[in-house]
Amino acid sequence: MKKPLPRIWILATGGTISYRAVDVKQEGDFDQVRFSIDQLLPQMPEVEQAACLQAEQLFQIGSTSITDGHWLTLARRVQELLDRPDVDGVVITHGTDTMEETAFFLNLVIKSAKPVVLTGAMRPATGLCAEGPLNLLHSVLVASSPDSWGKGVLVVMDEQIFSARDVTKCSTYKVGAFGPTEYGCLGKLVRGQVYYAYAPVRPHTLASEFSLGGLEKLPKVEIVYGYSDCGATLLQAAADAGARGIVYAGTGSGILHPDVRQLYQHHHRDYPVLVRSSRIPRGGVGLNNFLDDDLHGTVAAWDFTPQKARILLKLALTQTEDVETIRKIFARY
């Protein structure tokens, strides 16, 4: 007796995977006409044969336009689907520019062991050698695999499987645009077979303390970039604009500009919670490493990129503004 196909729900949100290029050679400056998921899937018969699919166009936007409101809407729809016994996993098509951020947010708030997989494309749907169909097929295969259960939210691009926590976009134009921040990919796809080598051990999904319950909006958190002679002007502007938290993408090991250091040494209780991250993609920022965090009332980002640190700080601030508690959250996740 033939085994029934896994039941996978595709949520489409837009992005390059749905763009129509002006001509097949064009890989940038796409026009604003996009294919809906119902128009795309008939062009991808291999995808439709891989699982029992349902598809839904949730948004139709470029990922630079994603807001906190979109995150909450998407997360609630994903949770609704995963709670259904007739859904075995969810695949989300998404623009690549902020895919890692959406994936990490979902990784922290979704409550299910079922697979959630994000994918996209660097070339438009009508572009020459468009890789979107293969990425979507691979994502459906990963979402269909029993080995994907319990691994948190995943990103599948260019035949690689990444944890939402540890993936980043590392090229502005290459097809292989995604890579790991510090710890490598979890697995890969070879000739349509899903292979895992590792599993995430940091809290996610069911083990995360964060949830969508009662969450109507997220606290405002800004990122301020550190550079030579930057001063504290942008940080002050973020504080004046009502930010409850600030992630400082510092030089080196999260080193603060002297003006910022002076401000937080003497007045940190009057300013938003400050997380020290680094503009350098690897290495991380340890507690009291190159700066006395206790003296300055600051939080170490550890190995989180500034954009990932911002998401974790947003969720931490939904529970507390106590700096010591937020430090423990960053160390734990």
Give the active site residue among 16, 102, 119, 168.
16
The CA-based angle 268-288-235, given to 5 degrees, is 35
Q: Tell me the DSSP string of 237-271.
A: HHHHTT-SEEEEEEBTTTBPPHHHHHHHHHHGGGS
The structure tokens 């550890």 sit at: 302
The pair of three-digit structure tokens given for residue 19, joined into one six-digit string: 């763009």
Rounded Cα gap, residues 327 and 333, in angstroms: 10
Interhelix angle 99-109/68-82, nearest 10 degrees: 50
Question: How many helices (H) does the chain have, and how many strands (E)?
Answer: 10, 14
User: What letter does residue 20 receive in the DSSP assignment?
Assistant: P
- The Cα-based distances of 113 to 56, 72, 148, 153, 299 in angstroms read 22, 19, 9, 9, 30
Confirm whether 67 is a catalytic residue. Answer: no
Catalytically annotated residues? 16
